[in-house]
Amino acid sequence: MSPKLQIVRAVCPHDCPDTCSIQVSVDPETKRAVKVRGDPEHENTGGFLCVKVNHYLERTYSPDRVLHPMKRTGKKGEGHFERISWDQALDTISDKLGRIAAKDPAAILPYSYSGTLGLIQNGSMDHRFFHRLGASRLDRTICASCGTEALNQTIGWRVGPEPSAFQHAKHIILWGTNTLTSNVHLWPFIQKARDRGAKLVVIDPIRTRTAERADTWVPVRPGTDAALALGMIHVIFREGLADRDYLARHSEEADVLEAKVLEYWSPAQAAKITGLPAKDIEDLAREYASLKPAAIRLNYGVQRHHGGGAAVKAIITLPTVVGAWRHEGGGALLSSSKAYPTCSEALERPDLMPLGANKEKPRLVNMNELGRALDPKLTNDPKVQALFVWCANPAASTPDQEAVLSGLAREDLFCVVHDIFVTDTARYADILLPATTQLEQTDIHKSYGHIDVLLNDPAIAPLGEAISNTELFRRLAAKMGFEEACFRDSDEALLTQAFDWAHPSMEGISLASLRAHGPQRLALPRPFTPFREGGFFRRDGGRAKLAGHEGAPLYVEPLEASRNASSPGPMLALVSSPAHHFLNSSFSGLGFSLRAEKTPMLGIHPTDAKSRGIRDGQRVRIWNERGAFEATARVTEGVRSGVVSAPSVWWLGRTPTGRNANAVTSQALTDIGGGATFYDCAVQVEPAG
């Protein structure tokens, strides 16, 4: 008879708004995890995991895992290593970093992002270590910083309706988000709303699997969403559909906005820019303003363009103009991450940073500009001599790949990578260190898509000699002789530092209660309608700043996305958004994901294919002045003409030519927030070979 399995509660660590609660079944005899499933008791998980994380055991027990420290034997990029001991690895690293730091610690660049979103494994001991060292600071802008800045400047608080509120909506817009791929746990709530008659609109240049299931697909031209929102606001003011009472009590400069949109943003003008019929813009505005409650789920698609900040501001202004924030199931959600009373300073300890003569902090390097930062030809003062990568795979995922790869290939660059797998970046490491998966480590999580707190206890012992991020930086700090007591904090101590447990929204939540009962919702009012009575900027009576506030531009043009975007033209706008079976570049090296995604694809409209002599199923080359990659053409009316779609992020080693879509994306930044402009990218497409 098989022994009774133990159930351990874990949290999905990936960069995804759903932050699922996972039940891991562990065989008490073999101590192996034998099953993962979505927690049926956690409302926002709803008892199911996505197609990727259902395979988490394949990831955890993969034969391809890095299980021991290694040092490079072949050339950079070849991926040849030999096993060394942890002592050897830590000695080499501390010796090298110590020597560089003695001259100028800012020549050391840490590089991390989204491998795990756990509060202690990503952003505690690691940050303490690099702060204490005086290393360059990394501006972590690759994903959300543009939208964050736009929300900070307008509504001032990164919160919105929680997922369950969407079931009460009568009108839902999914704006620049492929919900069924990247936020699938919102779908059951959307489905409930539709069962009660709600209308679903998807605004996306690609007819994604989400758009296919909507009542209306709005194929906006990439990078022009601000124009669409402004055209809608024009119609709403013009036709007396604005909530003047709400605007008067809870916003600033509504009269300025009204005058500007009435003058400049007619539906005809918006139509010219967005490539949508003016009548469609009018109809959308009318139904959005009339069907109540009206909810918008805005995600990252719109902010990966140069004008992303202006776009997010214009969209987030819509619920204020129609007073949608008043209703349960109304408003707009981009991120819920500011709902939590986290204590990032206690975890990160910025006070450990050595300051310059004028109290200046070490220099800040924008992670989207890694290519530039590593370029020895540019006057980067000081030149980066050591790169330390964890929780990230910049060789595959950072824009302007040729620049990144030339930097990584520099013989004079000392490179350390801590990862679970030999990623494209790991192949360039001088020292490669084995990282644990979430099943082998301790963590605590907030979410950016709901408002629950979740605790992750290790389900199994670390495999091989793998260690977690906290343990790695504890060991390195000891090796380097850092004496501050905070470098000896245990994981349990770090958990207690992660939140302000005395904050009213943490009432009833403790490590003990999380262990006993599983995930807990913050003690916020139910329904959580954060701006029902204003309260923007989190101040009593604080007022929303609207699009165009204080002279800010209402619309910022894309740099490349609509360059000759009317087909047939020579340049096409490339959108390389998340593939269904990948999660950024995680899972891109695993069997089941590769079997499902098969090969890099390029969706192209029949008109654009025909004018280029491209047939369905043919290999094509996609290129511009920065680089090139290849994919298999899928000729489809599911993309707007003038636009091509390359689901991402492929591991380079799994592509026909060792390059993925980031070979053509650029290091240009968004209008505000220093964000990446992945989808603001003009390319040529031609038959390969």
Of 676, 570, 562, the closest CA to residue 225 belongs to 562
Q: What is the DSSP letter of 55?
A: G
Residue of the chain from 9, 10, 12, 353 that contacts ligand SF4 (CB under 6 A): 12
| Chain residues that interact with ligand MGD, rule: CB under 6 A | 15-16, 113-116, 121, 142-143, 175-178, 181-183, 203-206, 208, 220, 222-223, 225, 299-302, 305, 390-393, 396-397, 418-421, 423, 435, 469, 575-578, 580, 582-586, 648-649, 661-662, 665, 678-679
Residues 409/435, Cβ–Cβ less than 8 Å: no
Residue of the chain from 9, 10, 18, 97 that contacts ligand SF4 (CB under 6 A): 18
Site string for ligand SF4, 38-57 (x = CB under 6 A): -----------xx-xx----
Residue placing its CB nearer to ligand MGD in the complex, 135 or 142: 142
Residue placing its CB nearer to Mo ion in the complex, 320 or 666: 666
Which residues are CB-contacts of 280 (< 8 A; sequence separation ≥ 6)? 218
CB of 45 to ligand SF4, least distance (A): 7
CB of 679 to ligand MGD, least distance (A): 4
> 127: part of which helix (H) or strand (E)?
helix 125-133
CB of 73 to ligand MGD, least distance (A): 22
Residue placing its CB nearer to ligand MGD in the complex, 119 or 254: 119
Residue 575's binding partner among Mo ion, ligand MGD, ligand SF4, none (Cβ under 5 to 8 angstroms by kind) is ligand MGD
Whole-angstrom distance, CA of residue 128 vs CA of residue 486: 8
> What are the residues facing 216 on neighbouring strands?
201
Residue placing its CB nearer to ligand SF4 in the complex, 16 or 498: 16
Residue placing its CB nearer to ligand SF4 in the complex, 59 or 605: 59
Residue placing its CB nearer to ligand SF4 in the complex, 276 or 339: 339
Residue 417's binding partner among Mo ion, ligand SF4, ligand MGD, none (Cβ under 5 to 8 angstroms by kind) is none
Which residues are CB-contacts of 259 (< 8 A; sequence separation ≥ 6)? none
Of 137, 182, 43, 121, the closest CA to residue 582 belongs to 182
C-alpha distance from residue 669 to each of 146, 182, 308 (Å): 9, 23, 10
C-alpha distance from residue 632 to each of 233, 471, 667 (Å): 41, 43, 26
Whole-angstrom distance, CA of residue 609 vs CA of residue 614: 5
Other Cβ atoms less than 10 A from the Cβ of 551: the count is: 7
Rule CB under 5 A: which of 138-197 touch Mo ion?
143
Tokens 């824009």 identify what position?
399
Residue placing its CB nearer to ligand SF4 in the complex, 50 or 235: 50
Rule CB under 5 A: which of 348-387 touch Mo ion?
none
Residue 208's binding partner among ligand SF4, Mo ion, ligand MGD, none (Cβ under 5 to 8 angstroms by kind) is ligand MGD
Residue placing its CB nearer to ligand SF4 in the complex, 578 or 673: 578
CB of 483 to ligand SF4, least distance (A): 39
Which region holds residue 496: left if phi is over 0, alpha if psi is between -120 and 50, else beta?
alpha
Other Cβ atoms less than 10 A from the Cβ of 377: the count is: 7
Residues 296/249, Cβ–Cβ less than 8 Å: no
Of 219, 195, 141, 189, the closest CA to residue 297 belongs to 189
The binding site for Mo ion (CB under 5 A) comprises 15, 143
The binding site for ligand SF4 (CB under 6 A) comprises 12, 14, 16, 18-20, 49-50, 52-53, 184-185, 583
